[in-house]
Structure 1
Amino acid sequence: MDKVTTLCSLWRLSLKDGTIYRFTDHDDLVIFGGETYVLNDSAEAGVSESQAGFSVDTGDIRTRVNLPDLSPQAVREGALDGAKISAYRHDWSDGTTQLLSQGRVGDIRFSENVIEVEWLGQTSLLNRSTGRLFSGQCDAQFGDNRCGLNAADFPAKTNCPRSFDACRDQFDNSANFRGFPHLLGDDVLQAGVGDRDRRDGGSRYA
């Protein structure tokens, strides 16, 4: 028997709420790791790409949105946000299984009654921003607890440009400004020292 014909794919989709879906493109149930992978004859692996180093591995799975308790509307509302996905190659003739990729769900696209689920490799987590970003602009939302103002006290559609000047002059709220107005930009960092510049180590904003 041709060895290739004994191979099938397994996918394990783990949602943030603890729900786990297991499915295969084989024509029968597959038992692997004590778990049952059910037939989903519309599932297929899409294009995938593995990268060396810290580049992000990507790929996708196409499957009809007929998984139990997972409606198309639920998917659109974020049911798959943050979900983890694992893909395996399984040989049903001898039970050997190879892990092909592990990652998380990325973009989700719809086409009629089919969803295309993109997976992102583990290195994609290195691209996430953690903690605060240092910026000259305020990162609070106008009227939230960090801003300290009550948006209802201002005319409808009042817009805050999130600049220090606006926070100080327009809203008299500079004490709650959540940015870094004196953060040096690339232009300053790359500029040379002028003949008239102070060189005493003091603040240039004093």
Structure 2
Amino acid sequence: MTRAWFARDLETAATFWRILRADGVTLGLTSHDADLWFDGVLHRASPGMVPSALRKSAGFEADSAEVRGSLTHEAIDGADLAAGKFDGAQVRIGLIDWESLESEVLYAGTIGAVAEEDGAFSAELVSRKAQLWRDPTPRTSPACRATFCGPGCNLNPQAFTREVRLAVIDPVRNAARFTDDPDAAIHAGGTLRWLDGPQAGQAMGVMDGTQSGALVVDVPLDPTIPTGTRALLRQGCDRTLDTCARRFGNAVNFRGEPFLPGNDMLTRYPGPQG
């Protein structure tokens, strides 16, 4: 049975926030003046973080919420915010009884836009009900709409992912070269996910290769990443039917319409014959 909060003259209640980042890191924060351990997560005392009013409705419109706070806790670093480590992270906001540790989640969603100014940050939260506004009808496109090795593509990601070790960082080109010199042609458009080092857990997109065999990525590399740092490197796909059929033998799962006439077909008209 759900507890009736604030029904007594004196309540031992505090708010808590739980952030589940895409790189596997889970952070717990609470407005209580001492750390609290519950649900298998240590929630650090962070009185500087305050949620705005939570608006919940019984309709289909998305619930709204916002969190503001100061960058005083070691768990939230300005560099991590700038690097996008909190983008798209799942958020749980609720109440906790700091005596009985009875808790209730009041809001669940994801982090949207994050802004930082003068050592303070604000994060816009997007509720789960916002997914109901997404149009599930696919649009026609000459390229494949499926994520490589994802739903619809149906290829096994393990067959196109391997572990590599860093050889050297090229800070000028923002590129990384690995010991076994992976082919840039088949990894362009793929992903690189670090397993060790200062950027452990962070995923980056592979943009292209360099003449030295290094792979250029779309996220700034930390120049202090040591040699030998492990990473998972996944191949890329240019989403064309030719690549899907010839390289992967997966044309049956191609999610595109490469032979469908475009809108310019409506504007065509016959010209004089020469």
Aligned partner (choices 52, 64, 77) of residue 71 of structure 1? 77
CA separation of 1:93 and 1:71: change in aligned 2, threshold 3 A: closer
Give the equivalent residue in structure 2 for 1:187. Answer: none
Aligned-pair CA distance for 1:87: 0.7
Q: For residues 179 and 17 of structure 1, what CA distance do their matches in structure 2 show?
A: 41
1:80 and 2:86 correspond: yes
1:3 and 2:10 correspond: yes
1:103 and 2:113 correspond: no
Give the equivalent residue in structure 2 for 1:198. Answer: none
Give the equivalent residue in structure 2 for 1:201. Answer: none
Aligned residues of 1:22 and 1:36 also touching (Cα < 8 A)? yes
Aligned residues of 2:97 and 2:103 also touching (Cα < 8 A)? yes
Aligned residues of 1:146 and 1:176 also touching (Cα < 8 A)? no
Aligned-pair CA distance for 1:100: 0.6
CA-to-partner distance for each residue in 1:61-96, whole Å, 9 max, x for gaps?
A: 112234446531331231111200001101223322
Give the equivalent residue in structure 1 for 2:57. Answer: 51
Give the equivalent residue in structure 2 for 1:181. Answer: 263
State the TM-score, normalized to the length of structure 1.
0.61
CA separation of 1:178 and 1:98: change in aligned 2, threshold 3 A: same
- RMSD over equivalenced CA pairs, Å: 3.3
Q: Could you say which structure has the larger radius of gyration? A: 1
CA separation of 1:114 and 1:134: change in aligned 2, threshold 3 A: same
CA separation of 1:69 and 1:91: change in aligned 2, threshold 3 A: closer
Give the equivalent residue in structure 1 for 2:98. Answer: 92
Q: For residues 265 and 97 of structure 2, what CA distance do their matches in structure 1 show?
A: 58
Aligned partner (choices 66, 76, 80) of residue 60 of structure 1? 66
CA separation of 1:43 and 1:183: change in aligned 2, threshold 3 A: farther
1:125 counterpart SS class: helix
Q: For residues 74 and 26 of structure 2, what CA distance do their matches in structure 1 show?
A: 10
CA separation of 1:70 and 1:177: change in aligned 2, threshold 3 A: farther
Aligned partner (choices 18, 23, 36) of residue 42 of structure 2? 36
Tell me the amino acid that sits aligned with residue 38 of structure 2. F
**By percentage of residues, which structure has more strand?**
2
State the TM-score, normalized to the length of structure 2.
0.47
Aligned-pair CA distance for 1:147: 8.2
Q: For residues 67 and 179 of structure 1, what CA distance do their matches in structure 2 show?
A: 56
Tell me the amino acid that sits aligned with residue 71 of structure 1. D
Unaligned 5+ residue runs, structure 1? Answer: 149-174, 185-206
1:24 and 2:30 correspond: yes
Q: For residues 261 and 26 of structure 2, what CA distance do their matches in structure 1 show?
A: 41
Aligned residues of 1:139 and 1:178 also touching (Cα < 8 A)? no
Once the two structures are aligned, what percentage of the paired residues are identical?
21
1:126 and 2:132 correspond: yes
Aligned partner (choices 111, 119, 129) of residue 113 of structure 1? 119
Unaligned 5+ residue runs, structure 2? Answer: 1-7, 145-236, 242-256, 267-274
Q: Report how many aligned residue pairs link the two structures.
A: 152
Q: For residues 129 and 178 of structure 1, what CA distance do their matches in structure 2 show?
A: 22
Q: For residues 37 and 116 of structure 2, what CA distance do their matches in structure 1 show?
A: 30
Aligned-pair CA distance for 1:26: 0.4
